[in-house]
Amino acid sequence: MNRIYNFSAGPSTLPVSVLEDVSKNLTNYQGQGLSVMEMSHRSPSYMEIHANAKQSLRNLMNIPDTYEILFLQGGASTQFSSVPLNLLNPSGKADYILTGSFSKKAYKEALRYGDIQIAASSEEDDFTFIPNNDAINVRPDADYVHLCLNNTIYGTRFKPEQLPQFDNIPLVADMSSNILSEEYEVSKFGLIYAGAQKNMGPAGLTVVIVRKDLVGKAQDITPTMLDYATQIDKDSMYNTPPTFAIYVAVQVFAWLEEQGGIKAIEAINKEKAAKLYDYIDQSDLYQGTARKENRSIMNVTFRTLSEDLDKTFAKEAKEKGLYNLKGHRSVGGMRASIYNAMPMEGIDALIEFMKDFENENKR
Ligand code: PLP
């Protein structure tokens, strides 16, 4: 069967070569007579996969030795609790930059655990932009500042060069929808977390990259499973880790290495996004919904002239094999999620369809 072009925001498309390799090894991994799914997480074979996952991610993102890498469960949403439970010390204060639904959820969750304030917000303009650094008000004694680097629903992002930095206050970043998509310097963050299901592999795996000196100060009420110190001590195996998802992530990391690493995929991602935005910007029918200078290169949000036409667009696109282009239910319009594994042919096919649709629906 021909594969569709899947523009889903997540779980999202994976490299076909990875899926084929996983399927080849599904019942008999490297001739060992069993699937990775069936292996003990303490077995030498699985331990090798686990170590490989960590090392590959360290190499790809150039993660310094002063940072630990954790493979956890519970999705990025569990980190909305884990972060304050572990990092609200000594002041018990943290400041949150609100640039979309997920950073707002993270903020609301943190309110349970400490003295939390909003440092800046773009909510008054429906999260269509990223606040300028001079509009971000951070308390000098905050234990950390939280932000979401790429806003999956609204299609905005903090560019690497516009990342706010605060003296002696670690930056905590939700990187769920743009990890491994372009180069960010890990040393600019105290902690990075991301659900795997966009650029790393199947849902069920959550990656946390944390600076070692920030660990070991968890609140007493922190559940054992959520305490980074426990997870570091047990090499993310305090309980059974999501072994199969980690195994697939290793294949995705190897695929990315073959593409030339993050620098190379960043160039491709920028080319893909620019093609789509350029087409949208010259069109009379489509309109981008995010402010130009804050546009995401992973989630391209746009709309037509009416909600009815948006609905027809998504329906007719699907008939052409272009799936999941309907915008998030909270904002409407359309969203093309074009993560690392979306090939250039997918962008070209989408633009072709958009042109035809525009011709048929001219004002
Ligand atoms: N943060 C961002 C930026 C996301 O895009 C998502 C999911 O789409 C989440 C958090 C929630 O992730 P999870 O479903 O892994 O809890």
Give per-residue pLDDT as tens, 268-314: 999 999 999 999 999 999 999 999 999 999 999 999 999 999 999 99
Q: Determine whether the annotation assigns residue 239 to a binding site.
A: yes
Same domain, 195 and 132: yes
Q: Is the pLDDT of residue 362 over 90?
A: no
Ligand 1 pocket test, pick from 8, 71, 77 with the greatest ligand atom count within 8 Å of Cβ, gives: 77
Ligand 1 pocket test, pick from 103, 152, 180 with the greatest ligand atom count within 8 Å of Cβ, gives: 152
Is the C-alpha dihedral spanning 79, 80, 83, 85 positive or negative? negative
Same domain, 207 and 272: no
Q: Determine whether the annotation assigns residue 129 to a binding site.
A: no
Confidence of residue 331 (pLDDT cuts 50, 70, 90): confident
Q: Please give the distance of CA 161 from its chain centroid, rounded to a whole number.
A: 18
What is the extent of the structural domain holding 276? 5-10+262-360
> Which residues does 175 contact at the CB level (< 8 Å), separation at least 6?
149, 150, 184, 192, 193, 194
The number of distinct structural domains making up the chain is 2
Q: Is the CB of 148 under 6 A from ligand 1?
A: yes
> Which residues does 176 contact at the CB level (< 8 Å), separation at least 6?
10, 76, 102, 148, 150, 152, 193, 194, 195, 198
Distance CA 351, CA 284 (A): 14
Q: Determine whether the annotation assigns residue 282 to a binding site.
A: no
Q: What pLDDT does 173 receive? A: 98
The answer to whether the CB of 215 falls within 8 A of the CB of 68 is yes
Tell me whether residue 17 is in a domain.
Answer: no
Exposure of 332 in the CB half-sphere (CA atoms within 13 A): 12
Residue 230, token pair as written in the block:
């426990």
Q: What is the mean pLDDT of the chain?
A: 97
102 CA distance to ligand 1 centroid (A)? Answer: 7
| CATH code for the domain of 64 | 3.40.640.10
Q: Which of 228, 239, 128, 246 is nearest to 172 (CA)?
A: 228
Final residue before a domain boundary, out of 258, 287, 309:
258
Residue 108, token pair as written in the block:
């609301």
Q: Determine whether the annotation assigns residue 152 to a binding site.
A: yes
Ligand 1 pocket test, pick from 176, 180, 192, 198 with the greatest ligand atom count within 8 Å of Cβ, gives: 176
Tell me whether residue 139 is in a domain.
Answer: yes
Q: Is the pLDDT of residue 333 over 90?
A: yes
Q: Is the CB of 245 under 6 A from ligand 1?
A: no
Bridge partners, residue 208, by sequence: 70, 193
